[in-house]
Amino acid sequence: MKTLEMLLEYFKRNRLVNFGILIILAIILYGVLGSIFIMHLNIYDSIYYTIITIATVGYGDITPITPLEKIFTVTLILAGVGLLAYILTFIISSVTENLQNRRSGRIMAKRLAEMENHYVLCGFGRVGLSVFEELKKRNQKVIIVDMDEKATEDIEEDENIVVYNANATEDKTIKKLNIDKSLGVIIATGNDVDNLFMVLSIRELYKDAWIITRASKKENYKRLKHAGADKIISPEASGGV
């Protein structure tokens, strides 16, 4: 029942799949109308003839006689076999991928929820990598948050390391990181605006969170401190955390 609800929700949101379904219905409608007006069949035989022609079953009980009937049948076969096969393949693969993504999302949510006494590392560039290596040496648990999958693809995940490819500036992402049970949040992106936004969001959601952030420009130190950062570092001034 839950899977059915997920499928219905997916169809509602995915216009390409809906468009594919409309094309399939259009092919069936073409076959039925053509069978009525060209083959001179009744509605029931028209539906029957359309289905067996598209499915390439062809029992031989209804046979096109005139050139026009033969042309119609050929076009129906081409449309049915070619386009229908392509669209069905697309729909099946698309739905399967969506269900797999949903399942992966549930697994990720479970892993994130199970993390305790960990550090949340936002941003995995040069500084983020340096921070991660230091935390790893100390056998600390880490959730790495970065939108760039390529930046994190070489990280070997285990029970102490979770990679979450998402936008850390969004509240919905922040809420999944179990920050209230963490040892602290380390913001290491090279964008001071993003860092400021993350500090503000995290401090608003988690009053007691310990937040350390990177500042690329000295003039932003006060802004970050005022936003709620407990400690501010500069990659030029510090080699680690």
Higher pLDDT, 52 or 55: 52
This prediction has a pTM of 0.60
- Fold adopted by 2-111: Helix Hairpins (1.10.287)
- In the chain, what are the domain boundaries? 2-111, 116-233
Number of neighbouring beta carbons within 10 Å of residue 57 = 9
DSSP 47-62: HHHHHHHHTT---SSS
| pLDDT number for residue 72 | 94
Write out pLDDT tens, residues 137-192.
999 999 999 999 899 998 988 889 999 999 999 999 999 999 999 999 999 999 99
Domain range 116-233, CATH architecture? 3-Layer(aba) Sandwich (3.40)
- Residue (of 190, 201, 199) closest to 230 by Cα position: 199
Residue 61: CB atoms within 10 Å: 9
Taking only the tens place, the pLDDT of each residue in 192-222 is 999 999 999 999 999 999 999 999 988 899 9
pLDDT at residue 79 is higher than 50: yes
Mean predicted confidence (pLDDT) in 73-87: 83
* 154-179 per-residue burial string, b: 16 or more CB within 10 A, e: under 16: ebeeeeebbbbbbebbeeebbebbbb
Distance CA 180, CA 138 (A): 21
| The predicted structure's pLDDT at residue 239 | 46
d(CA 17, CA 222): 50
Q: What is the mean pLDDT of residues 128-140?
A: 95
pLDDT at 109 over 90: no
Order across the sheet with 211-214: list the strands.
161-164, 141-145, 118-122, 184-187, 211-214, 231-233
Bridge partner residues of 152 (DSSP): none
Closest CA to 189 of 142, 227, 233: 233
Q: For the ranges 6-20, 52-66, 203-217, which has the lowest average pLDDT? A: 6-20
